Structure 1
Amino acid sequence: MSGEDNIFNRLTPRQRTLAGLVLALSNFMVVLDLTIANVSVPHIAGNMGITPDQGTWIITSYAVAEAICVPLTGWLAQRFGVVKMFISAMIGFGLFSVLCGLSMSLSMIVVCRIGQGLCGGPIMPMSQTLLLRIFPPERRARAMGLWAMTTLLGPAMGPIIGGYISDNWSWHWIFFINLPIAVLCVFAAMALLRPVETETARVPIDKVGLVLLVFWIGCLQIMLDIGRDHDWFADPLIVILGVLAVIGFLAFIIWELTEEHPVVDLRVFRHIGFTSGVLSLALCFGAYFSGIVVIPQWLQSSMGYTATWAGIVTAFTAMAALMSAPIAARMMSRVDPRLMISVAVLWLGLMTLWRAHWTSSIDFWSMAAPQFIQGFAIPFFMIPLTTLTLGSVRPEETASAAGLQNFLRTMAIAMATSLVLTGWGDGQRVSRNELAGVLQPADTQSALANIGMSTDQIRQIISNIVDQEALAIAVDHIFFISAMILFVAAALVWLAPRPRANVDMSAAH
């Protein structure tokens, strides 16, 4: 057996365990930052004197930067070594986290969040690669189970951790807390992982493809983020951004399909199993994260919840997911993954449809119930979807397929964040106009006037009630659309053939 085959023997069992915990912790930190700022946006917006809509740039800038950097992970690891790149990315992530916390303006925090995302993008796939590298084959399933749990738990725990910190300390600390974790992971990686460093090689990079990727994604995301404020395509700026995004996207596809060493290997889309799997994955993550984004915003802006309690509502999903994850892992080898995915996504869609009937008078436990029940389904679609997509391509294409899968998942989150908050705001305006048209406030005005309220006070109270109801109706519309998307995703997976029994994840950078 070659040294590369049994490289895990370079570490003692204790060192492997410690290294595994460090890698899982680093992954948890990065995926946590996808959602930790969600409940803190009102705090940050108020502190900086910006609107909550502008504050969503803090969320989307991180996700987009992370998505763009994910396809570069394989090239960076080959060029500089996976351990060196992991350590460098952790250092950069920690430094940009501090700069985010020190930011005094929207432009500064968005730039720093982009830097944080660029450094965080490679950490997730490289931590996965290193886990597979340091553990022997018989222990890799357990190690990847730990890694998968941090991937699952991080986004769900982000709102509650961010809410508690924002309410009890200040929003700056949602970024500062990354520094001690990053320092710990850097020193632990330097002490434990250097013996398992990969060989380096001068491999070419697709510079044109990378520029086109950044260009069309940047134009698209800016269009989505500012479209509402500019009345969408009534503004020439939005039209220009839309045209540039389409041109850049088409040029990107043409170039990548003809490039010998593409930054994103689009050829894997020829496999129907991969295509249907990643489309289902993107739809599921977009619909799932729409709730994670909109619920804290609604509860804080309209329902009088603090950031902490808004985060607790969403955290019930993580509790249930932790309970069901071991069951999902055991069923993986016994049940067709397409059946597991389909049932789980249908379950998620039904819970989302349940939430589409929330009202402005709903109590805490009535919101917590569907959040908790839907959590049981999460592991049953997240883990099997990876097996389905990667099991549908040839073994030598696994690395490209895994990178593209991570890219599309992260982009789905970024785009869903922009679209959901835009749709929520537009839906609120439409619902308010409809309510105002059918409202008969005479009895309410008379009752309030009888207790001594002035005309202006009465109008303000009625306006507030209408606004609150309109926001609740708009949230229900978001949930209804999300449920329909999930039902489509549940059907899509059946276009894929059953994947091969054994999927080699060791190449999935």
Structure 2
Amino acid sequence: MSGAAAGAAPASPPAPPARADFAAWLAVAAGTIGAFMATLDISIVNSALPTIQGEIGASGTEGTWIATAYLVAEIIMIPLAGWLERLVGLRTFLMIMVSLFTAFSMMCGFSTTLPMMIVGRVGQGFTGGALIPTAMSIIATRLPPHQQPVGIAAFGFTAITGPVFGPVIGGWLAENVSWHYAFFLNLPVGVVLLCLLTFGLPAIRSQLHLLREADWFGIAGIVFFLGGLTVFLEEGEREQWFDSTLIVIMAGVSLTGFVSLMIGQAVAERPVLRLRLLLDRQFGAVIIMAIVVGMALYGTSFIIPQFLTAIAGYNALQSGGVVFLAGIPAALLMLCVPWLLRNIDVRVMVMGGLGLLAFSCWLETDLTAFSAGDSFTHSQLIRGLGQTMAMMFLNQAAVSSVPVEYARDAAGLFSTARNLGGSLALAGISVVQDERMWLHQRRLEEALPANSLTVQDYMNGQAMTLGGMPSAYRSLAGTIQTQALTLTYVDMFWILTVGVIATLPLALLLRPLPKRFKPAEMGH
């Protein structure tokens, strides 16, 4: 959720009633369903990506933009959502976003070319990015304090399980129906959401005068800085970094956006993204931990399907089922979230969550070329528990560490940090995979000297089995490549393990949540 717009602070929304009525719960249902669909669509195409690329005539490199386009647009929209919400009113804003999200989803489903698909994914990301933070606006304004933990638990379930369900649903549709329906399923959901919003949210007058008072330097800075930086990180390794004209341009765009954002911080009375909050010791610690948790969350959800596909020979549905395991403990823990928020020290929960997350990554450092889906069962269950504990309580620590009037700014920064962590993880994975793959291949080759009698006997035996020495050499090359790739994935899990452990001491900087803590905002 974004910071407030520039200019005078708008009037506070009316206090929630003493007890939520049926319309309020309809609105909460709409918010959580919308957030679920938005998070689901982040990863729903990942399993079906090879099939989509083939049908729209995109190469492997071009096809990555199908996923990147959504992420770029979403990370831009999240910090802007709060300002746009106040500009036109929450119900109007959400109905516009839901309608456009549905329309862009249909555009993706009907796509026959890569440009058409990318335009649809950008539209999906931009509108879906609005559905995620505004779900907590509904909870904060439509539910009384004592009922808000229930809304938080429902939203937390969607935020955690959306990316987990995505590969499963996308893989099943690609294998059994058609990848097109990964997008078409948003049509009936969109219609239901529009009905729920119509009956669940009251109409609020727009505040178009905010257009004159807005922090335009900050808004432009967010668009160019976050958009340019995300493309820079996502595509850098693939494009050979500064050897690529695209990466040079994106670096310039990101730098220009950062300068514009800093100008907005200096001259705007109410910057659209209040970066001064990072100077608070607790909030700064939360943001660092959010980035690292985002790296672990998005990094593992990318590495595991890649390993299962490349090493174990799994199809999209099978690898999606392994990723889905993390959603089971997350869903069960959500039933306890209201009680946990009121009774357990935030430092205990965050340190416990980070510890479990690090432990789950460490369990995957003993992978071999014979590992399959069952090798990830325990680690995925532990990861689902750890990431839920860490993210839920870090979010509450973020918004409770700043004055109430800055809660939206804090939630926007927290959400942006988590997504930025995902971008850093994907960029880091590309770099590590290229560098460590080369290193492990060379080391394995060096360990097989051509003059070794053992190696010669092995190769002669393989030649007799496979029908000639050329086939034996190809088999050896494939074995070396498989082993090198396995060792590379192990390196990635080691890096994630060490990274999460390094942030554990930061949890000691957190302050306990207020006894009568009122959940106000939550990031994605």
TM-score, reference length from structure 2: 0.89
Between the aligned partners of 2:511 and 2:387, the Cα distance in structure 1 is 22
Counterpart of 2:203 in structure 1 is 197
Counterpart of 1:268 in structure 2 is 277
Between the two proteins, what is the percent identity of the paired residues?
A: 26
Note closer, same or farther for the CA distance 1:417–1:170 as it changes in structure 2 (3 Å cut): farther
Between the aligned partners of 1:388 and 1:435, the Cα distance in structure 2 is 47
Give the aligned residue type for 1:81. Answer: G
Are 2:116 and 1:108 aligned?
yes
Between the aligned partners of 2:341 and 2:491, the Cα distance in structure 1 is 34
Are 2:335 and 1:326 aligned?
yes
Counterpart of 1:77 in structure 2 is 85
Between the aligned partners of 1:423 and 1:48, the Cα distance in structure 2 is 30
Kindly indicate whether the alpha-carbon contact (under 8 Å) linking 2:277 and 2:283 is maintained by their aligned counterparts in 1: yes
Are 2:376 and 1:367 aligned?
yes
Between the aligned partners of 2:47 and 2:149, the Cα distance in structure 1 is 34
Between the aligned partners of 1:31 and 1:8, the Cα distance in structure 2 is 31
Between the aligned partners of 2:400 and 2:310, the Cα distance in structure 1 is 44
Task: Please report how far the alpha carbon of residue 460 of structure 1 lies from its aligned counterpart in structure 2 after TM superposition.
Answer: 2.4
Task: Please report how far the alpha carbon of residue 375 of structure 1 lies from its aligned counterpart in structure 2 after TM superposition.
Answer: 1.9
Gaps of 5+ in 1: none
Report the secondary structure of 2:444's partner residue.
helix
Note closer, same or farther for the CA distance 1:347–1:452 as it changes in structure 2 (3 Å cut): closer
Are 2:138 and 1:130 aligned?
yes
> Which one of the candidate residues 470, 490, 493 is aligned to 1:479?
493
Counterpart of 2:447 in structure 1 is 438
Report the secondary structure of 2:314's partner residue.
coil
Counterpart of 2:9 in structure 1 is none
Greater CA drift, 128-137 or 259-268: 128-137
Report the secondary structure of 2:160's partner residue.
helix
> Which one of the candidate residues 237, 240, 243 is aligned to 1:228?
237
Task: Please report how far the alpha carbon of residue 240 of structure 1 lies from its aligned counterpart in structure 2 after TM superposition.
Answer: 5.1
Note closer, same or farther for the CA distance 1:71–1:124 as it changes in structure 2 (3 Å cut): same
Counterpart of 1:287 in structure 2 is 296
For residues 395-450 of structure 1, give each alpha carbon's deviation from its aligned partner in whole angstroms, at most 9, with x where no partner exists: 11111111221222223223322332443244323322332332355344212222
Counterpart of 1:4 in structure 2 is 14
Note closer, same or farther for the CA distance 1:91–1:145 as it changes in structure 2 (3 Å cut): same
Note closer, same or farther for the CA distance 1:502–1:402 as it changes in structure 2 (3 Å cut): farther
Counterpart of 2:7 in structure 1 is none
Are 2:179 and 1:168 aligned?
no
Task: Please report how far the alpha carbon of residue 480 of structure 1 lies from its aligned counterpart in structure 2 after TM superposition.
Answer: 0.9
Counterpart of 2:359 in structure 1 is 350
Kindly indicate whether the alpha-carbon contact (under 8 Å) linking 1:390 and 1:503 is maintained by their aligned counterparts in 2: no
Kindly indicate whether the alpha-carbon contact (under 8 Å) linking 2:167 and 2:323 is maintained by their aligned counterparts in 1: yes
Give the aligned residue type for 1:379. Answer: T
Aligned length: 504
Task: Please report how far the alpha carbon of residue 304 of structure 1 lies from its aligned counterpart in structure 2 after TM superposition.
Answer: 0.8
Note closer, same or farther for the CA distance 1:238–1:274 as it changes in structure 2 (3 Å cut): same
TM-score, reference length from structure 1: 0.92
Report the secondary structure of 1:376's partner residue.
helix
Kindly indicate whether the alpha-carbon contact (under 8 Å) linking 1:345 and 1:490 is maintained by their aligned counterparts in 2: yes
> Which one of the candidate residues 142, 149, 163 is aligned to 1:141?
149
Counterpart of 1:388 in structure 2 is 397
Note closer, same or farther for the CA distance 1:121–1:238 as it changes in structure 2 (3 Å cut): closer
Report the secondary structure of 1:333's partner residue.
helix
Kindly indicate whether the alpha-carbon contact (under 8 Å) linking 1:26 and 1:127 is maintained by their aligned counterparts in 2: yes
Counterpart of 1:184 in structure 2 is 192
Note closer, same or farther for the CA distance 1:496–1:5 as it changes in structure 2 (3 Å cut): closer
Pairing of 1:36-75 with structure 2 (within 5 A): 36-75=44-83
Give the aligned residue type for 2:510. Answer: A
For residues 169-226 of structure 1, give each alpha carbon's deviation from its aligned partner in whole angstroms, at most 9, with x where no partner exists: 2222222211211121112222x124x2334322132222222222222332332233
> Which one of the candidate residues 463, 472, 476 is aligned to 1:458?
472
Task: Please report how far the alpha carbon of residue 347 of structure 1 lies from its aligned counterpart in structure 2 after TM superposition.
Answer: 1.6
Note closer, same or farther for the CA distance 1:426–1:175 as it changes in structure 2 (3 Å cut): farther
Give the aligned residue type for 1:493. Answer: A
Between the aligned partners of 1:439 and 1:108, the Cα distance in structure 2 is 50
Note closer, same or farther for the CA distance 1:476–1:3 as it changes in structure 2 (3 Å cut): closer
For residues 362-386 of structure 1, give each alpha carbon's deviation from its aligned partner in whole angstroms, at most 9, with x where no partner exists: 1321222211222222222121111
Report the secondary structure of 1:412's partner residue.
helix
Counterpart of 1:427 in structure 2 is 436
Give the aligned residue type for 1:4. Answer: P
Q: CA RMSD in A?
A: 2.5
Task: Please report how far the alpha carbon of residue 315 of structure 1 lies from its aligned counterpart in structure 2 after TM superposition.
Answer: 0.9
Between the aligned partners of 2:48 and 2:74, the Cα distance in structure 1 is 20
Between the aligned partners of 1:426 and 1:54, the Cα distance in structure 2 is 22
Are 2:102 and 1:88 aligned?
no
Between the aligned partners of 2:59 and 2:309, the Cα distance in structure 1 is 14
Task: Please report how far the alpha carbon of residue 503 of structure 1 lies from its aligned counterpart in structure 2 after TM superposition.
Answer: 4.2
Kindly indicate whether the alpha-carbon contact (under 8 Å) linking 1:60 and 1:418 is maintained by their aligned counterparts in 2: no
> Which one of the candidate residues 287, 296, 306 is aligned to 1:297?
306
Counterpart of 2:226 in structure 1 is 217
Are 2:126 and 1:118 aligned?
yes
For residues 472-505 of structure 1, give each alpha carbon's deviation from its aligned partner in whole angstroms, at most 9, with x where no partner exists: 1111111111111111222222233334334444
Between the aligned partners of 1:50 and 1:468, the Cα distance in structure 2 is 26
Are 2:410 and 1:401 aligned?
yes
Greater CA drift, 223-232 or 382-391: 223-232
Kindly indicate whether the alpha-carbon contact (under 8 Å) linking 2:225 and 2:254 is maintained by their aligned counterparts in 1: yes
Between the aligned partners of 1:446 and 1:439, the Cα distance in structure 2 is 14
Task: Please report how far the alpha carbon of residue 459 of structure 1 lies from its aligned counterpart in structure 2 after TM superposition.
Answer: 2.5
> Which one of the candidate residues 423, 438, 457 is aligned to 1:414?
423
Greater CA drift, 159-168 or 241-250: 241-250
Kindly indicate whether the alpha-carbon contact (under 8 Å) linking 1:53 and 1:421 is maintained by their aligned counterparts in 2: no
